[in-house]
Amino acid sequence: MKKIIPFLLATLFISATIKAQQPYNVVFDITSKDTTMHQTVLRWIKLITDEHKDAKLEVVFYGKSIEMVTQDKSTVADEVIKYAKMGNVQFKVCEVAMKHWKIEKSQLLPGVLTVPDGIYEIISKQGEGWGYIKVVQ
């Protein structure tokens, strides 16, 4: 019994240390045109970046959500541009969806990037150990 207690304490310490070192990386999946959902994901980004300065966040857009990052259509353009400048937050638009909705790269807000396939981008991040959040009502 005397040998088990130090072993258990060491195991708990190692587990806590590993957990503390786990990076805070999250990919958000948004497909909704609903501006309430656009505001929600930006609120989450603010809360996370305020508490975890080293967090890496990525928002992937496809479907009708592209308006969130399109000039003259976005209701949250200023916030998107602000977070895109931070470096640890990226906004990426699916080029397949852009083609479908006839959106050109020049129509995207400054700092917004594109990826060939939004779904593949999401599963790639998950494969790298990133957390996944589907932005829905």
CATH number, domain with residue 108: 3.40.1260.10
Please give the residue range of the domain that contains residue 37: 23-134
In a domain, residue 8? The reply is: no
In a domain, 50, yes or no: yes
pLDDT score of 137: 73
Is 11 within a domain? no
Give the single-character DSSP code of 87.
S
pTM across the whole model: 0.83
Report yes or no on 3 lying in a domain. no
Give a yes or no: residue 1 inside a domain.
Answer: no
Question: How confident is the prediction along the chain (137 residues), in pLDDT tens digits per residue?
Answer: 555 555 444 444 554 444 556 889 999 999 999 999 999 999 999 999 999 999 999 999 999 999 999 999 999 999 999 999 999 999 999 999 999 999 999 999 999 999 999 999 999 999 999 999 999 87
Q: Does 48 fall in a domain?
A: yes
For the chain, what is the domain count? 1
Residue with tokens 């990133």: 130
* 108 is a domain residue: yes
Q: What SS3 state is found at 97? A: helix
Residue position matching structure tokens 């976005």: 74
In a domain, 12, yes or no: no
Contacts of 110 (CB under 8 A, 6+ apart): 81, 84
